[in-house]
Structure 1
Amino acid sequence: MTRRDHADLGRPSYYLSIPAAAGRACVSRDTIRRMIASGQLKAYRFRGQIRIAIEDFDNAMRPVR
């Protein structure tokens, strides 16, 4: 399946690893792990690796008003 096919099925089109999510948010890997453990950030396990859907990450990182 291509990324476009996934979007048609309602699935996220891209996933981040914990280090990639930490780099994108300018926080530590431990902070991302704590967010996952507390339920602030939804994560998925693929073949033993933890991944975060880009849409879930962007929603969790929205600006404070």
Structure 2
Amino acid sequence: MISPNRPARDIYQIVEAIVEQFTTLPGSQVRLRLEIETRVPDVLERAKVRTLVESANTLGFVEKSLE
């Protein structure tokens, strides 16, 4: 799990310690997947949902689901 308070730091450490070890191997193919799971206490406003979906599209997320 990556801390939502400092995700950039945690992701950097993962890349530096693990991903780079694989990417330096000849012929290796590395895929990374980021999954975000969130629970909110109330229903999201339509504007917030639209913003989140547009951001996910812009950033290239493949699967987007807001329930």
What's the TM-score once normalised by structure 2's chain length?
0.26
Task: Work out which of the two has the higher radius of gyration on C-alpha atoms and give 1 or 2.
Answer: 2
Q: Which has the higher contact order (CA 8 A, sep 6+)?
A: 1
Calculate the TM-score normalised by the size of structure 1. 0.27
